Amino acid sequence: MKVTMRWFGADDPVSLASIRQVPGVTGIVSADYDTPVGQVVPYASIAQLRNTVTAEGLDLDVIESIPVHEDIKLGLPTRDGYIDAYCESIRNLGRAGVPTLCYNFMPVFDWTRTNLNHPFADGSHALSFDYEDLAKIDLDAEGAAHLPGWSTVYTPEHLRHLLQQFRALGTDAMWDHLAYFLKRVIPVAEESGVKMGIHPDDPPWSILGLPRIVTDERALERIIDIVDSPANGITVCTGSLGALQSNDLPQIVRKLGARDRINFVHMRNVAITGKKSFHEAPHLSCLGSVDMYAVMKALVASGYDGPLRPDHGRMIWGEEGRPGYGLFDRSLGVMYLQGLMEGAKSQFNSRW
């Protein structure tokens, strides 16, 4: 497996030089943050990003992500132009030598939490999601002003319009629109040498009346069946999928791994705190609801050799920064993951 960490570009308070000092990390997951959604990500931007990363002795392994325009998810007549642009972006990734593209198909909000500073007894804090807190937020009346992380992204009018459109859509149409998209982009990804991995919905259930479809094992299998190509794969995210108790993560890894459709892995832990509620947790299995070693063993057993990164961490040791993406706790997480990996590999070699 290729051990990577996410980097948000020149504005990230965490530097590439710092990431390089984390033992075992050889790759970077990043994106072009300047191109508006729906436009072509220029080759020059990706090539420049790659050069910045390689100058620090790291590889640019994954672009996470190129957002899918809402018109594509809505199936509007304008989608074809946006899909053309998406295909061109994929070609540019291929030309720049980036092997993996992580994307998602969530309507309106591509991640949702109700608290970005959930406190722990030890003074650290993390992100959390409480179903009842979310129910108190009236998006139609007040826009996203009280939705953490989203208050400045949409104007109230734009948000209201999007919500109306998606609520009228339903999940069947979302599936149709995802299939339409995949049938167009996957052949381009395949010929460009880019493997795509769809990220599960986070959290993996319908929120705010919006249709969400990338939630469980059945959905992931349905997606890879839409286009039978190694380029049409999954980003296995243990934190997203793990928030739903019924998701058997090692089994999901075994099933997708047997078909060679895991194209990227995010590993983090979550602690389920109630019905459709959770807080993010340190990476250790014993501190959350996910059996991280079981997932790692399934990855090793399936022969997965693609990129893997630690996912959100807590804020610890006084660090301030982008929610979930401080240096310190993610570094602890990535060391833990590599310990699991070493253990799983030696177990696999000696016993399995």
Question: Given the complex with Mn ion, which of 108 and 308 has the nearer CB atom?
Answer: 308
Q: Given candidates 266, 279, 297, 314, which one binds Mn ion under the rule CB under 5 A?
A: 266
Question: Given the complex with Mn ion, which of 32 and 311 has the nearer CB atom?
Answer: 311
Report in angstroms how near the CB of residue 200 gets to Mn ion at its nearest: 8
What does the alpha-carbon distance between residue 73 and residue 160 come to, in Å, rounded to a whole number? 16
Annotated catalytic, 43? Answer: no
Site string for Mn ion, 228-257 (x = CB under 5 A): ---------x--------------------
Site string for Mn ion, 307-326 (x = CB under 5 A): ----x---------------
Catalytic residue among 266, 279, 283, 329: 266
Annotated catalytic, 118? Answer: no
Question: Given the complex with Mn ion, which of 96 and 292 has the nearer CB atom?
Answer: 292
Question: Given the complex with Mn ion, which of 143 and 203 has the nearer CB atom?
Answer: 203
- Classify burial at 157, counting beta carbons within 10 Å of its beta carbon; exposed 0-12, middle 13-18, buried 19 or more: exposed
Report in angstroms how near the CB of residue 202 gets to Mn ion at its nearest: 6
Count of beta carbons in the 10 Å neighbourhood of residue 176: 12
Annotated catalytic, 110? Answer: no
Annotated catalytic, 161? Answer: no
Question: Given the complex with Mn ion, which of 93 and 234 has the nearer CB atom?
Answer: 234
* Binding residues among 186-215 for Mn ion as defined by CB under 5 A: none
What does the alpha-carbon distance between residue 102 and residue 263 come to, in Å, rounded to a whole number? 9
# residues near Mn ion by CB under 5 A: 3
Report in angstroms how near the CB of residue 330 gets to Mn ion at its nearest: 12
What does the alpha-carbon distance between residue 212 and residue 109 come to, in Å, rounded to a whole number? 11
Question: Given the complex with Mn ion, which of 232 and 240 has the nearer CB atom?
Answer: 240
What does the alpha-carbon distance between residue 264 and residue 158 come to, in Å, rounded to a whole number? 33
Report in angstroms how near the CB of residue 239 gets to Mn ion at its nearest: 6
Catalytic residue among 237, 283, 304, 336: 237
One DSSP character per residue, 17-31 reads: HHHHTSTT--EEEE-
Question: Given the complex with Mn ion, which of 237 and 315 has the nearer CB atom?
Answer: 237
Using the rule CB under 5 A, give the single segment among 32-40, 55-63, 266-274, 316-324 that binds Mn ion: 266-274
One DSSP character per residue, 75-111 reads: T-TTHHHHHHHHHHHHHHHHHTT--EEEEE--SS-SS
Q: Which residues have CB under 8 Å from 308's CB, separation 6+?
A: 1, 2, 3, 4, 264, 265, 266, 267, 299, 337
118 interacts with Mn ion by CB under 5 A:
no
Annotated catalytic, 311? Answer: yes
Report in angstroms how near the CB of residue 36 gets to Mn ion at its nearest: 23
Catalytic residue among 216, 311, 329, 336: 311
Catalytic residue among 199, 216, 291, 329: 199
One DSSP character per residue, 115-159 reads: EEEEE-TTS-EEEEE-HHHHHT--HHHHTTTTSTT-TTTS-HHHH
Annotated catalytic, 312? Answer: yes
What does the alpha-carbon distance between residue 306 and residue 19 come to, in Å, rounded to a whole number? 19
Q: Which residue of this chain has its Cβ atom nearest to Mn ion in the complex?
A: 237
Report in angstroms how near the CB of residue 199 gets to Mn ion at its nearest: 6
What does the alpha-carbon distance between residue 92 and residue 42 come to, in Å, rounded to a whole number? 7
Catalytic residue among 103, 154, 325, 336: 325
What does the alpha-carbon distance between residue 324 and residue 313 come to, in Å, rounded to a whole number? 5
Rg of the chain over Cα atoms, rounded to whole angstroms, equals: 19
Report in angstroms how near the CB of residue 230 gets to Mn ion at its nearest: 21
- Helix 171-192 to helix 79-95 angle (10° resolution) is 30
Structure tokens at 147: 């939705």
Structure tokens at 204: 């993996």
Give the residues lining the site for Mn ion (CB under 5 A).
237, 266, 311
> Known catalytic residues?
199, 237, 266, 311-312, 325
